[in-house]
Structure 1
Amino acid sequence: MKPTSTLKKNRFSSYLLPLTFLLFVAILYGEDLSCIFRQPFERIQQLQQAQPTSRKENISWPFAVGKTNEGCNIFDGKWVYDEAARPMYDESECPYIQPQLTCQEHGRPDKGYQHWRWQPHGCTLPSVNATFVWEMLRGKRMMFVGDSLNRGQYVSMVCLLHSIIPDNAKSMQTFDSLTIFRAKDYNATIEFYWAPFLMESNSDNAIVHRVKDRIVREDSIEKHAKYWKGIDIIVFNTYLWWMTGMKMKILRGSFNDDPKNIIEMVTEDAYRMTLKSMTKWVDKNMDPHKTRVFFTSMSPSHEKSAEWGGEPGGNCYNETAPIEDPKYWGISSSKSIMRVITEVFSETKVPITVINITQLSNYRKDAHTMIYKKQWSPLTAEQLANPVSYADCVHWCLPGLQDTWNELLYAKLFYP
């Protein structure tokens, strides 16, 4: 609603800026952000698609073969238990899953978490067709860039698609930070590049990166981005590693400098700096008529069961069913981060589609790896006596939730 010319500035000055911002966002993102007006505080993170509608109209989306039905928000729906259609593959039949995600192999006694299907309200997600995907990827490269959660989504994608490729025509190789799954007959690759901050950091070693005192180097995206050039479909994520609860340490200069020139920066400002570097690189290197750029939103954790009405002192351990309350939004620290994403992505020339996995994943307290995974180090007697103390409520079992993330990606890639 536009303010009339008769409104007096001194009367509405305290409201004009926030109202203008909400109006700008609503126009910019259209129906994808209609939920902001329904739940402005709880659902600020519900950024569905980060590109202006005017740009949508002027772009012939590469890889698109159709479009999502008008008014269908694939990110707004409910979880339906479906033993017939889920899981879409068996854990034992996908040799590419890391031992940190193979929950059945590591003794998880239940399988219910594998059988939940995401059902959008008023429409249906298109089924993932592996043959179709490989034909669309013929001669192309698809890459996931980010942290271990993005690596989980990458592995999920490989598991969804690999079975139709003969054993002698597929391979997976890792070269430091880069992992490549190759389908020889299609001359196509699906790749993962480890870069938890996207910028250069002291956590860039793909194996040894559990660094407590995290440092990110300013204006350093080219350190990693040189490996992203020539990609046809790229899926970014970065979030988890920023959530230290403290200010971020930003390096100005080189990691080889002694002493190092390090400043502290508020997390949101450091995050904004990184996203601006990413979007500038995207604008310079990605052709919107030939490439697609995606950003996977924040993956929630379930560290405190009291948040969803569980016993105090608990977490995701022993949870075997999703949260059923549709009004549950979690106790999220991501709202300010999502606001940064909204602001930064609105300025990029190349449309960036956000795969909004945040809210639908918030319900899935049952889908984490918990204690059913390979442990990084031997567990103490005290830990073994109290599984809650070492349950992983951040990462997700495969098959499971992250297969749904890829269904959403599939829908936005081929039916934007």
Structure 2
Amino acid sequence: MKANPIEVPTTNGNLHKPLITTKHFILPITTLAILITIHLYTQNFSGLRLINPATTPAGNSTDDSKCNLFQGSWVFDDERETYYTNETKCVIDDRQNCMKYGRPDTDFLNWRWQPDKCDLPEFDAVEFLEVVRGKSLAFIGDSVGRNQMQSLVCMLASEAYPMDISYTNDTRFRRWVFPPYNFTLVAIWSPLLVKTRDPTPGNFTRDSIMNLYLDEADEAWTSELENIDITIFSAGQWFFRPFMYYEKGQITGCHFCNQENITEISLYYAYQTAFKTTFATLLNLQNYTGLTFLRTFSPQHFENGDYNNGGNCVRTRPFTKQEMRLDGYKLMMYNTQVNEFKAAQKEGEKKGLKLRLLDTSDAMIMRPDGHPNHYGHPASDANKTFPDCVHWCMPGPVDTWNEFLLEMLKIEGEEPKAGWEDHQIEFTGWTVTPLQPPGSIWQVRAWVRYMAATTDGSHQSQLNNAPGAPKLN
């Protein structure tokens, strides 16, 4: 490389013969960069990213703020194939097995979720199982949570089918293991997340008044959680039923109880308190170190009435964002749980616990076409005439939840390991931060070559436009 001399003018306007060239500047800079690279590489760091400390929050080395997976729209794709069918060897509840029971339209299977600022990759069963290799994942919640869990089992069926290792014959509590990957999948029935009691055992109906202990977490999940690596909580539709509310062992009010001298309390208060109790219990478990997701409220789409008075869901295409959005009680339910989640997330950070939002509500409010309606067969023929506009057909839009889940797990896997945030090097006004493998050591080498080849001295101003240089996020 030929170095151009730097000519320094004298006071009389003449030019001194240069004492130094840019080569003298570039050599130490290049040497420093190479030494940095070698040092980090030998410390098992295989990637670097340049971060502008003035614009990036401390400790935040991800760029997920550029793409919100959950803001987008449904796009019709006539070449889209489902991950499984109603004949796949997997677990599909007959109440959500829409094609088996004669649903005549299939266009609802051809809509894919398109985020506004990026793409949502298709689900890859092998990739998912590799991400969760050696781990356990629990779905804790109601039948809509079970809906997602069964969807996941079916989406994984192309690669592996689990072995049932359940402790009980109660199908609401299941435990499977995928032997090749040592991955355990757990389903825990806890539709209200807090303690409940049926006042009239053996005579339970949709209109029975249940006792709900708002300040006591359900032992069904508290007894299991410390053995779980990844947890997905969800709850919603059960809170609309009649309840007698208890706190500190005393009746504090009710919902739809129609009893004298008992105060009618908003279901939103009960919903908020149940999540407050859930998160407080989780944060106080001594040995829980898992990754926690809250899957947000799943909206129903009854029109022209409710399930028991003529309501149904007969639409065959999604709404657009202009046609439908979260509002009314659905928005209240969403905000109630998310507010409690955000408060818990802040507390969790102090204890080193990760809480993440699986924010499916905006996407699903646009899918009135995704429910079974009358194309599901309940366990008992007694309720066969009731339409189902709460759960989701399988296959169907519920499979998108697990596309979200895989992407979020991958993002978590790409975050810097503990302690790496302390290993930073100041260089020409930027911070070089090691990232978790697989990183881009080749980008760093290209950047070093660029620095060595630059002759005008304006390294900092040209850095972000350099060929092969790491880009700012």
- TM-score scaled by length of structure 2: 0.63
Corresponding position of 2:381: 378
Distance 1:87 1:287, change over 3 A: farther
Q: Distance in 1 between matches of 2:314 and 2:330?
A: 25
Distance 1:216 1:109, change over 3 A: same
Corresponding position of 2:273: 273
Contact 2:131 2:409 in 1 (8 A): no
Q: Distance in 2 between matches of 1:286 and 1:89?
A: 40
Unaligned stretches of 5+ residues in structure 2: 1-56, 255-264, 349-353, 413-473
Map 1:97-176 onto structure 2 (within 5 A): 97-165=92-160, 170-171=163-164, 173=166, 175=168, 176=170
Given candidates 354, 358, 364, the residue that maps to 1:355 is 358
Distance 1:275 1:209, change over 3 A: farther
Q: Distance in 2 between matches of 1:365 and 1:343?
A: 26
Q: Residues 241-296 of structure 1, C-alpha deviation per residue, up to 9 Å, x if partnerless?
A: 1123x6x4213577xxxxx85633322222222111111122123889x5211011
Q: Distance in 2 between matches of 1:410 and 1:68?
A: 17
SS of 1:229's equivalent in the other structure is helix
Corresponding position of 2:79: 84
The residue type equivalent to 1:403 in the other structure is: D
Alpha-carbon offset, residue 58 of structure 1: 4.2
Corresponding position of 1:365: 368
The residue type equivalent to 1:267 in the other structure is: L
Corresponding position of 1:341: 337
Alpha-carbon offset, residue 222 of structure 1: 5.0
Q: Residues 84-143 of structure 1, C-alpha deviation per residue, up to 9 Å, x if partnerless?
A: 233122221143111111111111112111111001112101332211222222221100
The residue type equivalent to 2:142 in the other structure is: D
Q: Distance in 2 between matches of 1:271 and 1:319?
A: 30
The residue type equivalent to 2:231 in the other structure is: I
Corresponding position of 2:403: 407
- TM-score scaled by length of structure 1: 0.71
Over aligned residues, Cα RMSD in angstroms? 3.2
Given candidates 253, 261, 272, the residue that maps to 1:263 is 253
Contact 1:172 1:182 in 2 (8 A): yes
Contact 2:72 2:113 in 1 (8 A): yes
Alpha-carbon offset, residue 155 of structure 1: 0.7
Are 2:299 and 1:300 equivalent residues in the alignment? yes
Corresponding position of 1:32: none
Q: Distance in 2 between matches of 1:286 and 1:157?
A: 30
Contact 2:239 2:267 in 1 (8 A): yes
SS of 2:145's equivalent in the other structure is helix
Q: Distance in 2 between matches of 1:286 and 1:406?
A: 29
The residue type equivalent to 1:276 in the other structure is: K
Corresponding position of 2:452: none
Alpha-carbon offset, residue 76 of structure 1: 1.1
Distance 1:266 1:68, change over 3 A: same
Contact 2:194 2:215 in 1 (8 A): yes
Task: Compare CA radii of gyration and give the structure with the larger one.
Answer: 2
Map 1:39-58 onto structure 2 (within 5 A): 58=59
Distance 1:404 1:68, change over 3 A: farther
Alpha-carbon offset, residue 77 of structure 1: 1.0
The residue type equivalent to 1:280 in the other structure is: A
The residue type equivalent to 2:189 in the other structure is: W
- Aligned residue pairs total 333
The residue type equivalent to 1:138 in the other structure is: R
Moved more, 275-284 or 338-347: 338-347
SS of 1:193's equivalent in the other structure is strand
